[in-house]
């Protein structure tokens, strides 16, 4: 999942605390400020004219430098990840409640939360590798939408996303975004290998292929706040390769599961 807010000036994605132009060092910040006021100040050595700019919005505290590199979780983040995992497992069981105690039902209820969490953690760890603060957070609207999906025939899994506080450049943003789908592609290929090694479990392992292929495919669509929009903007070749592999795993997994 990606960040939910878009800067109206530079078009980049940010969390709720940093979507304002003043809060992420927007390169087009001048367009968000009123006309400047010129003042003249005196100096003992020379006369100089200084230009003062008044922000349109008051500045809030934000990270002014990157954090020390390292992988870590806060207590709040662990709580949010745990709730997200529980919601994901419930969504998995809601597909076919009558199969909840079957091998397929249990497998789906275990693999789906793992696939979702590893996707989000991959975003987080990649950001932290660049020295960028990143933590998973539940979003109220997403949680409510996910809860509604439990009783709806249309399933939507969007309890939260990884929030990034520090400014990033295009390359870092692309690498952070592609990390999540790459994990799902790896898991899909892993289950694909097991599918041929353990033929007696093919009816179960095909779920892992399809599920991870679909998660990667959905997130790689280059629209809105999805990962694909930033990956395509950064590197079209990488986006195309990952998208096609995700499409193949989704089609193959769905076909063998029928």
Pinpoint the alpha helices (H) of the chain: 75-94, 103-129, 140-149, 170-197, 202-219, 227-234, 236-257
* Active site (annotated) includes residue 120: yes
Residue from 51, 47, 70, 76 nearest 137 by CA:
76
Instruction: For residue 199, give the 3-state DSSP assignment.
Output: helix
Q: Name the active-site residue from 49, 98, 120, 229.
A: 120
Pairing of strands 37-42, 47-52: antiparallel
Token pair belonging to 133:
């603060």
Residue count of the chain, please give it. Answer: 258
Give, in order, the Cα–Cα distances in Å from 50 to each of 38, 39, 43, 47: 6, 6, 11, 10
Please list the residues that pair with 13 across neighbouring strands.
6
- Do 163 and 136 meet the contact criterion of CB atoms below 8 Å apart? yes
- Do 173 and 234 meet the contact criterion of CB atoms below 8 Å apart? yes
Longest dimension (CA), the chain: 88
- Do 182 and 222 meet the contact criterion of CB atoms below 8 Å apart? no
Catalytic annotation, residues: 120
């Amino acid at each position: 999942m990606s960040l939910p807010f878009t800067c109206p000036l530079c078009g980049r994605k940010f969390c709720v605390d940093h979507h304002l132009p003043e809060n992420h060092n927007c390169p087009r910040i001048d367009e968000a400020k009123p006309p400047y006021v010129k003042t003249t100040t005196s100096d003992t050595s020379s006369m100089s004219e200084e230009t003062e700019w008044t922000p349109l919005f008051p500045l809030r505290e934000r990270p002014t430098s990157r954090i020390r590199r390292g992988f870590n979780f806060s207590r709040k983040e662990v709580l949010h990840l745990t709730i997200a995992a529980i919601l994901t497992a419930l969504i998995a069981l809601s597909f076919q409640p009558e199969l909840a105690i079957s091998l397929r039902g249990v497998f789906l209820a275990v693999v789906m939360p793992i696939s979702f969490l590893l996707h989000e953690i991959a975003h987080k760890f990649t950001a932290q590798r660049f020295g960028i603060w990143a933590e998973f957070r539940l979003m109220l609207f997403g949680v409510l939408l996910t809860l509604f999906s439990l009783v709806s025939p249309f399933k939507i899994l969007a309890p939260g996303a990884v929030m990034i506080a520090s400014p990033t450049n295009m390359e870092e943003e692309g690498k952070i975004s592609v990390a999540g789908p790459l994990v799902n592609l790896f898991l899909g290929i892993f289950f694909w290998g097991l599918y041929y090694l353990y033929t007696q479990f093919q009816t179960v392992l095909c779920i892992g292929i399809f599920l991870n292929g679909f998660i990667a495919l959905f997130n790689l669509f280059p629209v809105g706040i999805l990962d694909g929009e930033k990956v395509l903007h950064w590197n079209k070749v990488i986006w195309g390769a990952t998208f096609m592999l995700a499409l193949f795993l989704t089609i193959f997994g769905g076909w063998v599961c029928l």
